[in-house]
């Protein structure tokens, strides 16, 4: 699965809980907050002043690497 800007934080965390570390490393320390679960990645990036394009790239690179190792 590919990460997109409109993906909800909750979807992303259900897809792979390890993405929480990436989000927190980028400055999103509220990933455990219930309201963040219904927020899109783009909305969260705007609130935190983070480049959404860059974060999406990092998340997709992580998932690609993880999937390649699993094969």
Q: How many CB atoms lie within 10 A of CB 43?
A: 16
- Cβ neighbors of 64 (< 8 A, separation 6 or more) are none
Whether the model pTM is above 0.75: yes
For 52, phi and psi rounded to 5 degrees? -65, -40
pLDDT class of 1 with cuts at 50, 70, 90 = confident
Dmax (CA) of the chain: 37
| Cα–Cα distance, 35 to 15 (Å, whole number) | 18
Give residue 34's pLDDT: 82
pLDDT single digits (tens) 4-58: 999 999 999 999 999 999 999 999 887 878 888 889 999 999 999 999 999 999 9
């Amino acid at each position: 699965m590919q990460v997109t800007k409109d993906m909800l934080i909750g979807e992303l965390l259900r897809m792979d809980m390890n993405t929480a570390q990436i989000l927190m490393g980028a400055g999103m320390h509220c990933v455990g907050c219930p309201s963040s679960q219904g927020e899109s990645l783009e909305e969260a990036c705007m609130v935190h002043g983070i480049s959404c394009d860059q974060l999406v790239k990092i998340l997709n690179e992580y998932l690609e690497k993880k999937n390649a190792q699993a094969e």
